[in-house]
Amino acid sequence: MTGAMQAWIPITIAAAFSQNLRFMLQKRLKDTKLSTAGATFARFVFSAPLVALGVATYLGVTGQSVPALSPRFFLFALTGGIGQVLATMCVVALFAERNFAVGITFKKTEVILTALIGFLVLGEGLSASGTVAIAIGFVGLVLLSDPPGGGQGLGRFFNRAAALGLGAGFLFGISATGYRGATLELGVLDVIARVGLTLAIVTAFQSTIMVLWMRLREPGEIGRVFANWRVGALVGVTSMIGSFCWFTAFALQNAALVKALGQVELVFSFAATIFVFKQVVTRREWIGTALLVLSIIVLVLWL
């Protein structure tokens, strides 16, 4: 791999760490203060101004101008933005069904689904080692779909938590593919400018559609989000850092491989579950997560 391609690895790890921290803060908001939509909205509304300021400053300093944006760019960017909003809502709702680590692990179905969507939409295939890594991770996800108390028949695996997790994974897969497609459409700019411009447009769009949604469906929730601005601002900052890192990684590498390496987030989420939220992790959940970690090792060693 070239140096540029290798750079996506530490960038992805930084993205996973920031994302885990942001989900921790959103779980706090969901548990104590806000609705699922409110905790999701905090992510976008507090990060959008920061992103816009950052990209405007960067473009001014580097002397670059905003290129003409094609309909194809907007199709990719806005599809990715909507997918990300809905996926985040699924994950926040999932925290009420299972512990924090399992909630984060469930969303990792995005790795498999991102590979499939990337192949269908962008024509990007995977190497044999990448396919093996994703298959190992899938076995781990099957183990994690079985709830702690067990269940009857297919209900053990097809339940509300599994539905939210698979829904989040599918929607994050759409989001990742959309963002990669959008950044590839801006080939005239350097990587930072491409990523920053795409992120600024997407977060502004996401904030707007969520304002409209909550004004119609949850009157008063917008005011509660801003009343909790201290935690909300932290959500915004961690979201901005994480999103910028994800977008950069997508611009440098196949989205499915970025999401596969992003499973390192599981290590951070289990630490948070045990040491921050004081929640219990079952033996099956440990085994399922171990398989997902193994899939990361396979990916990194044989990429």
pLDDT band at 225 (very low <50, low <70, confident <90, very high): very high
pLDDT band at 149 (very low <50, low <70, confident <90, very high): low
pLDDT band at 282 (very low <50, low <70, confident <90, very high): confident
One-letter-per-residue 3-state SS of the chain:
CCHHHHCHHHHHHHHHHHHHHHHHHHHHHHHHCCCHHHHHHHHHHHHHHHHHHHHHHHHHHHCCCCCCCCHHHHHHHHHHHHHHHHHHHHHHHHCCCCCHHHHHHHCCHHHHHHHHHHHHHHCCCCCHHHHHHHHHHHHHHHHHCCCCCCCCHHHHCCCHHHHHHHHHHHHHHHHHHHHHHHHHHCCCCCHHHHHHHHHHHHHHHHHHHHHHHHHHHCCCHHHHHHHCHHHHHHHHHHHHHHHHHHHHHHHHCCHHHHHHHHHHHHHHHHHHHHHCCCCCCCHHHHHHHHHHHHHHHHHHHHC
* Residue extents of the structural domains in the chain: 3-302
Q: What value does the mean pLDDT take over residues 144-158? A: 53
Q: What is the pLDDT of residue 234?
A: 94
Q: What value does the mean pLDDT take over residues 136-142? A: 75
Percent with pLDDT over 70 in the chain: 83
